[in-house]
Amino acid sequence: MIQAAIFDMDGLLVDSEPYWREVEIEVFRTVGLEMDDEMCKRTTGLPTDAVVRYWYERHPWHNRSLEEVDAEIIQGAYDRIGRHAGPMPGVPAILELFRQQNIPMAIASASPMHLIEAVIDRLDIRSYFSIWHSATLEKRNKPHPDVYLGTARKLGVDPRHCLAFEDSGNGLKSAHAAEMLAVAVPADYEFNDPKFDIATLKIPSLAAFQREQLAELQNQLSFAIR
């Protein structure tokens, strides 16, 4: 049966993507790169250092190091998300659902640990989770499976008995590579993108996940094991 539910954080539990884009636009402007929301959406789900490298390779700059730009984006996002971001639709209900089913919950995020801590306190959801884990503490970040495998290891459960929730294509690849059941929760603008076809289930928001979907996934896992 499902032994744990593991959640991505940015754009899934917390409505943080607008703040990431806002900060990216401001910081990249300091190196002469004029960004807009559509450009920012190209790198949704990538670790911040990968976002910086992506744009440096396409629009090189020389006045600031990549590490400095990376650090400023993370700090700016940390400040704004910690002060302003709210939960995504359906967050309280889905956490209560898994709590009622006595299924342990964890966070597996590409964001650094201090940002994860800021978000769970901002949303007042710390008590729901057994652990939270950052891919920055692993050898490789998403789309590699390391953070999901590390989270399952910390929980003491088999990754193949875990249910992962992801909103980005790279995050979904990470969970899928860890051999977990994966629920994709894409944003409206990319809901029909084929990159989400590898998901076990695709829903428009966490609010759409009900007890019936959980029972169906439990059955799928039981059948696969048999």
For the segment 88-147, what is each residue's pLDDT rounded down to a tens digit? 999 999 999 999 999 999 999 998 898 899 999 999 999 999 999 999 999 999 999 999
Give the distance between the most distant pair of CA atoms in the chain: 59
Distance CA 21, CA 188 (A): 16
Which pLDDT score is estimated for 46?
85
Domains of the chain with CATH codes = 4-15+86-225 (3.40.50.1000), 17-84 (1.10.150.240)
**pLDDT for position 222:** 75
Q: Among candidates 21, 10, 18, 25, which has minimal Cα distance to 118? A: 10
Helix (H, G, I), strand (E, B) or coil at 14: strand
Q: Has residue 12 got a pLDDT over 80?
A: yes
pLDDT bracket for residue 82 (50, 70, 90): confident
Average pLDDT of span 192-196: 96
- Strand runs labelled E in the chain: 4-7, 105-109, 131-134, 162-166, 181-184, 201-202
pLDDT at residue 224, rounded to an integer: 65
Query: Across all residues in the chain, what is the average pLDDT?
Result: 94
Catalytic residues: 8, 10
pLDDT of 176 over the 70 cut: yes
Q: How confident is the model at residue 226 (pLDDT cuts 50, 70, 90)?
A: low
Q: Is the confidence at residue 223, as pLDDT, over 80?
A: no
Predicted pLDDT of residue 70 = 96
Q: What is the CA radius of gyration of the chain?
A: 17
Mean pLDDT of 59-83: 94
